[in-house]
Chain A
């Protein structure tokens, strides 16, 4: 406690002399109110490495007016002034394009503004804020390294990475021991040795296509190189080569299998479109919306968006439960339902005539 108070006094003292740009840019001015008004973030900052190193409110927020204008948001560019290497790496990965991709997507555009904010934007804002993972105002690397940091976005129906990991043997051992030497956590594989390019070692995008963050299709040689890097850097810490390769090839097979089931379902729906039972211009897959379509399309949406993802991503995360029961079994059951729905639609169409 005494240390904290001393530290605070030093900062207050230093602040009042050294950082003098305009009257309201003194750290003391901020703390005079914010110590009381927002004491949660004040306390978190006091305990942070930033405070120890003299990085204070105005270092990042500049001045009161500017901070207010931006609702106190601090963009990665500001953090990048000091954390140059991390900032560079961040820009190599998909996290740095999430906001733009979201804004282009039809589903985002189709949502009412208030819903967009409560839904998509909460996670996709990671493009614009380092404090998605290093939360304010303690910005701890230790916190950001834990699976919980990734979980708040990578969870739930559209991307249950956390659930897949937690139900894998990797996740089980990590939960029991909290020791990344015994079993990997998210960052062991996806941010190897602190690399902020979260896409390193990943061949596919969220839709399962082998493309880079700009959308360019990766050549088979490039895909192989990416996988090789992942295996060499991470898997070989514990596993032998033959077994590791076998596991990845198995996951490739699972992904291929899921795609075949999807194609079969798509064929059923396309036939209905050709027969004029569904109106022309049916959108399936990547750009499909979850609203105002026919029921059979909604069945496909679930298949593509949820069950397909569980199957193949579950396989690469070595969660048998996700790959099989939440994924493959549900893909098959949805296919049954789609076929039955098509049969009924045809019959109803015939009766109408």
Chain B
């Protein structure tokens, strides 16, 4: 408290002193933090307060250490990029660059789904999360940048939730998540960072042997090059290293291999949905036909089933498949690895089976109603 008051006193006094000594400093010279505080204590008291309580404040890291100067801050809408944080947090930046987080924005920008959304509203949707490539404060939120906050499952949960990747919901409905919720003790049960960022590594892709984005079967590196069998085995071994803090290696291995099986089954079911639609396409019953639609932003005039399929302007039968692959199949296999039976079975497998029923029924209706018309 005393320390805080001293800092507060200095910041209140500094500007007045500067005012007494001479004219305001020019931008080329380093700005005194008091210069910022003079206004920002009053106009943005929330972030000032958070900063004052932060470790940054205690260690003398202040506004201009990160925002450089007022003009630079204004031009960048106050954004501070990971490179800036990395000037001090070198290891964290190096780790971060190994992770898929570090290509989140670039990958989004070439995705068909992203390009299919009107440009003026993309920033409200995809960009809000994929921006993680450019900001450490997605997890360590401004201006406290608390490590404790970033370690809690809530920090991951603001992006990793919802229909397309309910990691938060899967975790919460697993026994791991249940025990953590009750005890708040990461020694009793793992939370997100225990498995995905062990020992504080900022390579959040640690130990993940499947992916990326959950919609493709092959495992690729950051440059989209498939990784070798040896690399996959190495990653699995690393992850089992985490599990073995509580579980026997054999048990952990067995559980993960079972999840591999679940994933295999999920993708096979997906193939059956695909086959039914391809038959309908062969019979010329897809409406609107691909030739009469807005071309796919990356695939052109082609029927795309599964990634990077769009949810806009397709036929109804394709749209049924979209739900099956994008929402339900992901729940089946990712929940397999997150050990949530509610998601892998009820919200995943059962929904996929019902999607398949819908797809077949729709195929039959299309034949019954429109086959004659075609002739």
Contacts and interface: CB of A to CB of B under 8 A. Distances in A.
B154 A238 contact: no
Interface in B152-176: 152, 154-155, 157-159, 161-164
Interface in B304-326: 311-316, 319, 322-323
B311 A238 contact: no
B189 interface: no
A333 B323 contact: yes
A329 B158 CA distance: 19
Contact of B315 (A250, A336, A351): A336
A336 B313 contact: yes
B141 A169 contact: yes
A240 interface: yes
B124 A251 contact: yes
B292 interface: no
Contact of B124 (A171, A176, A320, A332): A320
Nearest to B310: A332
A177 interface: yes
B319 A321 contact: no
Interface residues of B, number: 51
A341 B320 CA distance: 13
A255 to B, nearest CB: 10
Contact of A167 (B46, B77, B141, B162): B162
A239 B158 contact: no
A83 B145 CA distance: 40
Interface stretch (B206-214, B258-266, B365-373): B365-373
B121 A172 contact: no
Interface string A237-258: 1111011001000110110010
B287 interface: yes
A173 interface: yes
B121 A236 contact: no
Contacts of A321: 159, 161-162
Contacts of B128: 318, 320
B19 interface: no
Contacts of A325: 162-164
A238 B78 CA distance: 12
Contacts of B123: 250
A320 B129 contact: yes
A337 B316 contact: yes
A208 B282 CA distance: 44
Interface residues of A, number: 48
Contacts of B149: 173, 176-177
A340 interface: yes
Given A172-B155, A237-B44, A332-B311, A340 B144 contact: no
Contact of B370 (A236, A251, A333, A347): A347
Interface in A25-58: none
Secondary structure call for the B interface: helix
B124 A253 contact: yes
Contacts of B78: 240, 243
Contacts of B152: 176
Interface string B28-60: 000000000000000111110110000000000
Nearest to B49: A181
A333 B121 contact: no
B330 to A, nearest CB: 12
B25 to A, nearest CB: 21
A250 B125 CA distance: 10
Interface string B335-375: 00000000000000000000000000000010001100100
A343 interface: yes
A30 B242 CA distance: 61
A238 B143 CA distance: 9
B23 interface: no
Among B126, B129, B141, B314, chain A packs the most CB atoms within 10 A around the CB of B141
B46 A348 contact: no
A173 B141 contact: yes
Contact of A172 (B144, B157, B163): B157
A200 interface: no
A169 B149 CA distance: 12
Given A167-B157, A176-B149, A237-B44, A329 B124 contact: no
A348 B369 contact: yes
A324 interface: yes
B77 A240 contact: yes
Contacts of B141: 169, 172-173, 182-183
Contact of A175 (B43, B50, B154, B161): B154
B10 interface: no
B72 interface: no
A321 B327 CA distance: 13
B46 A315 contact: no
Interface string A177-198: 1000111000000000000000
Contacts of B161: 167, 321
A344 B49 CA distance: 61
A172 B158 contact: yes
A320 B144 contact: no
A238 B163 contact: no
A333 B311 contact: yes
A348 B368 CA distance: 10
Interface string A314-349: 010010111111101100110011011101100110
A125 interface: no
Contacts of B118: 257
Given A176-B154, A240-B77, A253-B121, A343 B287 contact: yes
14 contacts: A169-B141, A176-B149, A182-B49, A237-B46, A238-B44, A238-B46, A238-B142, A318-B128, A320-B126, A324-B125, A325-B162, A325-B164, A329-B311, A351-B369
In order of increasing CB-CB distance, the 5 nearest A-B pairs are: A340-B316, A324-B125, A320-B128, A238-B46, A237-B46
Interface of A: 167-169, 171-173, 175-177, 181-183, 236-240, 242-243, 246, 250-251, 253-254, 257, 315, 318, 320-326, 328-329, 332-333, 336-337, 339-341, 343-344, 347-348, 351
Interface of B: 43-47, 49-50, 74, 77-78, 117-118, 120-121, 123-129, 141-142, 144, 146, 148-149, 152, 154-155, 157-159, 161-164, 287, 311-316, 319, 322-323, 365, 369-370, 373
